[in-house]
Amino acid sequence: MPTQGAGAGPGYHPHDADEVRNSSIGELMRSVTTDLSTLMRQEVELAKAEIREEGKKAGKAAGFFGGAGFGGYMVALFLSLALWAGLSNVMDAGWAALIVAVIWGAVAAVLYSMAKKNAEKVRGLKKTNESVQRIPDALKPHPQEVTR
C-alpha cells in the first residue's frame, strides 16, 4: 500500500496511476468529492481546535487584566484615603473629603470625554456593509413570487 503524503489525515488513501486509469469519470468525481469533503471536515476541526486554544489564552489574559484593574482600583482607593487623611491635618475632615471627591470627579469627566470621542470613531461593520452592497444583483437572494 502506498504511504500517506505529508499532512494527510486519517482515512486518506492516495490513488496510484493504475487505479486512476481503470476508473470511470463518475468514480473519479466521487473520489474527488469525498476527498474534498474529508479535507473540509479536517480543516473545520483544526479551526475549532485553534479557536479553543486561543480562547483559553485570551481568557487567561483577561483574568490577569481584571486582576491588574482591581489592584489599580485598590491603589487609587488607598491613595485617596491617604490624601484625605493628609488634608485632614490642615483643614476640617469634611472639606478634605470634598476636595478628594472633586479631584475624582474631574478625573471621571476627563475619562468620560475621552471615551465619548473614541466611541464616535467606531463605525461598526462599515467595510462589511460596503462589500455586501457590491454583490451583483444576480447573486443576491430574491423572494419567490407565487402566482395563482
Written as one string, the DSSP assignment of 42-56 is HHHHHHHHHHHHHHH
Instruction: Judge whether residue 130 has pLDDT over 80.
Output: no
Stretch 2-24: mean pLDDT: 62
Per 3-state DSSP, the chain is made up of helix, strand and coil in percentages (nearest 5) of 75, 0, 25
- Of residues 39 and 2, more confidence is placed in 39
Instruction: Judge whether residue 94 has pLDDT over 70.
Output: yes
Asked whether the beta carbons of 20 and 28 are under 8 A apart, the reply is yes
Evaluate whether residue 57 is within a structural domain. yes
Written as one string, the DSSP assignment of 100-117 is HHHHHHHHHHHHHHHHHH
Evaluate whether residue 52 is within a structural domain. yes
* Residue 122 pLDDT: 78
Name the residue range of residue 83's domain: 17-122
Asked whether the beta carbons of 101 and 113 are under 8 A apart, the reply is no
- pLDDT tens sequence across 102-129: 999 999 999 999 999 988 887 766 666 6
* Residue 141 pLDDT: 63
Evaluate whether residue 66 is within a structural domain. yes
Evaluate whether residue 8 is within a structural domain. no
In terms of residues, how long is the chain?
A: 148
**What type of residue is 2?**
P
What is the dihedral sign for C-alpha 116, 117, 120, 122?
Answer: negative
What CA–CA distance (Å, rounded) separates 15 from 1?
A: 10
Asked whether the beta carbons of 38 and 46 are under 8 A apart, the reply is no
What CA–CA distance (Å, rounded) separates 88 from 67?
A: 31
Evaluate whether residue 49 is within a structural domain. yes
Q: How many domains does the chain have?
A: 1
Asked whether the beta carbons of 83 and 101 are under 8 A apart, the reply is no
